[in-house]
Amino acid sequence: MTDVPRLTFHDGHTMPQLGFGIWQVDADGAADVVQSALETGYRMIDGAYIYMNEAGLGEGLRRSGVPRDDVFITTKVWNGDQGRDKARASVRRSLETIGVEQLDLVLIHWPVPSQDLYVETWEAFIEMRNEGLMRSIGVSNFNADHLERIIAETGEAPVLNQIELNPELQQPQMRVANAAHDVITQAWTPLGNARSFAAAPIADAAARTGKSPAQVILRWHVQMGHAVIPRSIKPARQAENLDVFDFELSGEEMAAIATLDVGLRTGPDPSVFKML
């Protein structure tokens, strides 16, 4: 099995640097996909109740035979479930749906500044963490001002901020803001929907290393220190995405990939996104 490095949170807990995302995995097939990922060697599954496939996550875990303690499970509280009482209900629902007694990490899915509930939700997260419902707490899609506010008002920094991050959207300021508070940056849509696969820095590195463009990009994330959660429903591609720890990109290749940043999002802007 691939030996995936682990990243250490500021609360002392650790997480595999490369995990498996289940966004857009069909609910009917989620158990098979999660089972396949775990059998391939993934030990971190990134989910969310809004994905509507958490039951499959739990079933896939049980079918795989991998001990619960060996698998890091993340879920998220959706925008319409923000606020102290709703957040509590959301976390308990995810625990029951997945079929586990404790979650490893729970994230606020989006800040939704227009409803102004993310600080209250963060306070509820701290309470639930202290009660043992989850081991660690973090955020997703938070901009620097959202991050600064919850830290200033509660004195508690997230262990992780999951943001859209790929060669065409490298978010240097956000990565700096995260690092300033010892917050791990985790990349969603890490391959950027394959938009940069044919770009010269990616293609040249792939040719030199004998790896695929996807593997080059995932290796770039690893060397940048990001946590990263690729997704594929195909077992062969799952294995390929995990096979990025037996080569390195050169300094010149890393610098060339840095030139691909054009600030192009595939998802919404966190400062205005408010779907409930």
Instruction: Please give the positions annotated as active site.
Output: 51
Q: End-to-end CA distance of the chain, in Å?
A: 40
Please say whether the dihedral angle defined by the alpha carbons of residues 225, 167, 151 and 91, taken in this order, is positive or negative. negative
Q: Could you count the other beta carbons within 10 Å of the beta carbon of residue 48?
A: 23
Tokens of 11: 């609360």
Cα radius of gyration rounded to whole Å, the chain: 18
Nearest to 205 by CA among 260, 261, 263: 260
How many angstroms separate the CA atoms of 132 and 43, rounded?
21
In the block, which residue shows the tokens 């004195």?
A: 155
Q: Could you give the 3-state DSSP secondary structure of residue 236? A: helix
